[in-house]
Amino acid sequence: MLKSAKINLHLLRLKNRYFSQQQFLIFLSVLIGFTSGLVAVILKNLSYFIQQLLKGKYLATYHNSYYFIFPLLGLALVYIITNYVYKRQVGQGIVVTLYAISRKKGILERFQNYASFITAPLTVGFGGSVGLEAPTVVTGASLGSRLSRYFKMNQAARTLLIGCAAAAAMSSIFKAPIAGIIFAIEIFSLDLTLVSMIPLLTASVSAILTSYFFFGNDIILNTVLEDEFNISDVGFYIFLGLFSAFVSLYFSKLYFGIFKLFKKINSKWVRMLVGGVILGILIFIAPALYGEGYDVINALLQQEYKLALGNNFFNTYLNQQLYVILFLVIVFIFKSIATSVTIAAGGVGGIFAPVLFMGSAMGNAFALMVNTLGFKQISVTNFTLVGMAGLMAGIMHAPLTAIFLIAEITSGYGLFIPLMITAGISFFITSQFQPHSVYTIELAQRGDLLTHNKDQSVLTLMDIRQEIETNFIPLNINYNLGEIVNKGVINSSRNIFPVVDKNNIFKGVVLLDDIRTIMFDQKLYEEVQLIDIMQQAPEIIDLKNCTMKDIMQKFQNRNAWNLPVVEDGTYKGFVSKSKLLTAYRQKLIELSV
């Protein structure tokens, strides 16, 4: 331990001697970019290996009908690992990372370094309808968090390095460096400045180089634009944007609705069993739901419907366009359910890949419907791509990420205008009905979400428990004036006294001004009771129900300088406006890199 401490001290001295803060940030961003790229490679290859093991030559004699067993087996293995090996839940990657930024000063638990390495590939490899993007992000973010703590970086630098991990993960997976940077800015609410841009850029580039080193020129979504944008199609892209917004709201309601249903099941084992059976049945009916689904997306982009939707009991109908449209709608609906069930049942993965899957099915079905009804012959491939962007903008509230991701994977900006139209409309409408994305809605409801609003972000990062003052002397509600003076006033330097009962339940307050005119009249010591002179507090801060924004609003509305704090009715102390303002200024300074 002593030798390790000396090495750490030596490294810190070298860092402080030879590097400025900005230079060292860039160095760490390169390291994190390479690491996140490597994590993406490992997770993808492990998942692919498991899928090939189950679907390849080792089990070639099995019929697709037996695939319903695999998701249940995968969820069971994940259940055993999380409950008996890790002995804790892995959590959903993006949500875990966002919560760490807002409430844990960017510190992720050490076990997140490896938590997803086994559980995510098992979930996806055995057929779970989730993606590997979120596990890649949280693993890279955890490593970035540890590096920043090791080198004594401040909270702002730690948050930036987490953003670098997110940018690197997306850049490596999709070979889309610009989209990776924008993803980190939109989802993690990073400020786009020169100070933050260079580390994000270097992380994204180093990650994509790692991807090229291991995968060569292979791209997870491989398509090239063959049909140019036609100005006469603008109306259809507008309608696709409207439809994307409706579908985004549908998915969000379904996603959280299924979560609520599964939470009613107290036993995690039963949740896993029910989820595995439901998922198995869905994959039995539609094998296209198996795993992430990028092979299905690529087949849809090439309009190879038997390859995308085949291997089921309805193969003979896939030559008829109306049946293809029907199956695309069914697959879309089933994918929404399968993704929600996989995560609710304890599977480890994210919604990024499923959103792209659903968007491609939606856009493809939309184009086929327009062509079948004879309104106009439009490009099925183009609308498939734009449909993906529409759902990303609506469900994840990441319109810029959606636009640049599709632009980069198509190796050009030929669809830039329709992407902007559809993604913009989808995001605008969805945000009117649901101000937060699927990633952030629960965090926002708890007041744990950082946004691009600097003032709101500072309030979110502040911890009210650290600002509670406890040097106020509580008075029992049964005290008389003599006891108030002798047990309270004489021993206190404050001019306000909390009133509690024998169980320390807060009842009200007594101000020194309330007793100043009578406190020296000893004849009244026995006669005047505390309950006769106490008053209600102007506002009460409940630790379980009040966000920092609510607290600041209470001070403003009541023009108060001190407010009592309770938890489950129990008195905890007071918070002063002056101390909050001091803490606010300090936190604002810490947010600057």
Residue 224 lies in a domain: no
CATH code of residue 266: 1.10.3080.10
Residue 560 lies in a domain: yes
Q: Is the pLDDT of residue 66 over 90?
A: no
Residues 344 and 439 in one domain: yes
Residues 16 and 119 in one domain: yes
- Please tell me the predicted confidence (pLDDT) of residue 589: 57
pLDDT band at 324 (very low <50, low <70, confident <90, very high): confident
Reported for 430-435, long-range contacts at CB under 8 A and 24+ positions apart, including other chains, are 430/245, 430/248, 430/249, 430/393, 430/394, 430/395, 430/397, 431/397, 433/249, 434/249, 434/252
Domain housing 8: 2-215
Q: Each residue of 328-369: pLDDT tens digit?
A: 998 999 999 999 999 999 889 888 899 999 999 999 999 999
Q: Provide the number of structural domains found in the chain.
A: 3
How would you write 531-569 as a 3-class SS string? Answer: HHHCECCCCCEECCCCCHHHHHHHHHHHCCCEEEEEECC
Residue 222 lies in a domain: no
CATH code of residue 464: 3.10.580.10
Residues 476 and 446 in one domain: no
- Please tell me the predicted confidence (pLDDT) of residue 362: 94
Please say which residue of 215, 244, 276 terminates a domain: 215
Mean per-residue pLDDT over the chain, rounded? 82
Residues 305 and 433 in one domain: yes
Please say which residue of 451, 476, 492 terminates a domain: 451
Tokens encoding 440: 């952030």
Task: Report the range out of 34-43, 447-456, 480-489, 547-556 with the highest average pLDDT.
Answer: 34-43
Q: For residues 78 and 494, which has the higher predicted lDDT (pLDDT)?
A: 78
Residues 205 and 261 in one domain: no
CB 90 within 8 Å of CB 132 = no
Mean pLDDT check: name the lowest of 141-150, 203-212, 389-398.
141-150
Residues 398 and 489 in one domain: no
Q: How far apart are CA 345 and CA 270, in angstroms?
A: 9
Residues 372 and 270 in one domain: yes
Residues 96 and 240 in one domain: no
User: Partners of 508 in the beta sheet?
Assistant: 499
pLDDT band at 418 (very low <50, low <70, confident <90, very high): very high
Residues 484 and 399 in one domain: no
Residue 223 lies in a domain: no
Residues 439 and 474 in one domain: no
Residue 360 lies in a domain: yes
Residues 557 and 509 in one domain: yes
Residue 226 lies in a domain: no
Residues 93 and 173 in one domain: yes
Please say which residue of 451, 473, 505 terminates a domain: 451
Tokens encoding 182: 């924008």
Residue 468 lies in a domain: yes
Ramachandran sector of residue 463 (left: φ over 0; alpha: ψ -120 to 50; beta: rest): beta
Q: Each residue of 111-153: pLDDT tens digit?
A: 788 888 889 999 998 888 898 888 888 888 888 888 877 777 7
Q: What are phi and psi of 142, to 5 degrees?
A: -65, -40
Residue 108 lies in a domain: yes
Q: Each residue of 72-94: pLDDT tens digit?
A: 899 999 999 988 888 888 877 77
